[in-house]
Amino acid sequence: MLWWEPDLQKNNPDVQNLQKKQNKRRRGRWSDLDDFTKAPDGSYIYIGVTYTFQGTPRERRKQLAALVGLAAVMLAAAVASGCVSAPGTGRCVYVVLPYCLCLLSTCSLAWGLGRLIAGGDPLRNYVYKATVRQFPLRCVLTVLGAAATLIGEAVYLILHGAGDLVFGASFFLFCHGLVLAGVLLFRRLSRAMQWTGSEEDR
């Protein structure tokens, strides 16, 4: 390598653009750290954007309680459906994969709700982004998982029948119907919760 080659790479527009993109990703990944400032005692104080629930504390508790109830029912149904012997759940790809999506997205929805509750009121910006803003996507994934599981199980029953697993098939379908109805109601209730930011989102 010649002695001037590093300078040529440094002045290369493609290299500079790549470095800018890397720095931008790095700033985005750690941008939430800019919302904290160090106090004289050495602790850190949050000074970033906050989001306040538009309603009384009683209304907030009531709506969160409804969401917790729905999430608990959905999670219990998703887990319980995997604990019974149902047709197609052992080796059928178009039943197993949608079920995995349904279970994981339901767990993700419940985890997000737990973080929302733990975040209190007002919510810090990074908590708001990880919970309220993510609920629509998580609901869509749960709907797709539950609906695809129902369709996959129905197709398997049409093609192969239930055999000796009639109860397992009925319970499996009931559980995922419960998840589907629950997530649609969860989406409606979560969208009804209104939040106001303390300033323009960064």
What is the three-class DSSP state of 166?
A: helix
Q: How many other C-beta atoms lie within 10 A of the C-beta of residue 192? A: 10
| Nearest to 112, CA basis, from 51, 34, 59, 186 | 186
Distance separating alpha carbons of residues 70 and 75, to the nearest angstrom: 9
Distance separating alpha carbons of residues 163 and 182, to the nearest angstrom: 29
CATH architecture of 52-197: Up-down Bundle (1.20)
Element (H, E) at 26: helix 13-29
Element (H, E) at 195: strand 195-197
Fill in the DSSP letter of residue 87.
T
Per domain, the residue ranges of the chain are 5-46, 52-197
CB distance 109 to 138 below 8 Å: yes
What is the three-class DSSP state of 82?
A: coil
Cα within 13 Å of Cα(180), Cβ side = 16
CA atoms 10, 14, 19, 24: torsion sign: positive
pLDDT score for 198: 79
Q: Distances from the Cα of 146 to the Cαs of 11, 50, 76, 84, 172, in angstroms?
A: 53, 34, 14, 17, 11
What are the tens digits of pLDDT across the range 129-169?
Answer: 999 999 999 999 999 999 999 999 999 999 988 888 899 99
- Phi, psi values for residue 132, rounded to 5°: -60, -45
pTM confidence score: 0.78
Indicate whether 86 pLDDT > 80.
yes
31 — pLDDT class (breaks 50, 70, 90): low
Q: Of all residues in the chain, what percent carry a pLDDT higher than 70?
A: 80
Q: State the average pLDDT over residues 21-41.
A: 61
What is the three-class DSSP state of 190?
A: helix
